[in-house]
């Protein structure tokens, strides 16, 4: 395999520990395997190590920044809306919205702030979307 960074053709397979750190949190991944370039230091993890690396990266982000996806889901459930309904209200694609909830994509900060605002003031929803009406408990009137 050729180094994608410098073109050196002598990549060396190594097994080593990788330390991930972010904003004061750190996490060590043991026995990570990959091909490394002795010239420039570029490395490519094998499939399994790469998966572990991305999972650890997501975990460390959650530890530092909180689980925003879970926050969004909680707020949506509290508003008694489906992903489709809430994504329409805020004007975001349904697919993107479900990725935010699953933590696959980090939601834009303004969206998170908006949803936290709506969490405290659910009546604002009807202003954001003229067609949206808050769901009320079914009432029997006599
Ligand atoms: Zn290189």
Query: The domain spanning residue 123 has which CATH number?
Result: 1.10.260.40
Q: Which tokens belong to 91? A: 């004007």
Residue 142 lies in a domain: no
5: which DSSP letter? Answer: T
The average confidence (pLDDT) of the chain is 88
Q: What is the mean pLDDT of residues 18-32?
A: 92
Do 72 and 122 fall into the same domain?
A: yes
Helix, strand or coil, per DSSP, at residue 24: coil
User: What pLDDT, on the 0 to 100 scale, is given for residue 139?
Assistant: 52
Whole-number Å distance, alpha carbon 13 to ligand 1 midpoint, is 13
Query: Does residue 133 carry a pLDDT above 70?
Result: no
CA of 11 from ligand 1 middle (Å) equals 8
Helical packing angle, 94-102 and 68-78, nearest 10°: 120
- State the DSSP H helix or E strand holding residue 35, giving kind and residue range, or none if neither: strand 25-36
| Residue corresponding to tokens 């994608």 | 4
What's the 59 CA to ligand 1 centre distance in angstroms?
29
Query: What CATH number is given to the structural domain containing 55?
Result: 3.10.20
* Domain of residue 88, residue span: 68-128
């Amino acid at each position: 395999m050729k180094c994608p960074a410098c073109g050196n053709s002598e990549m060396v397979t190594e097994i080593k520990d990788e330390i991930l750190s972010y904003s004061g949190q750190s996490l060590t991944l043991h026995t990570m395997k990959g091909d490394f370039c002795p010239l420039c230091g570029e490395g490519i993890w094998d499939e399994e190590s790469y998966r572990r690396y991305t999972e650890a990266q997501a975990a460390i982000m959650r530890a530092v920044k909180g689980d925003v996806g879970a926050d969004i889901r909680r707020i949506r459930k509290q508003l008694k809306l489906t992903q489709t309904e809430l994504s329409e209200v805020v004007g975001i694609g349904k697919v993107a919205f479900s990725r935010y909830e699953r933590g696959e994509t980090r939601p834009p900060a303004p969206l998170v702030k908006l949803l936290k605002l709506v969490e405290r003031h659910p009546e604002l929803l009807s202003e954001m979307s003229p067609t949206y009406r808050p769901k009320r408990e079914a009432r029997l009137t006599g």
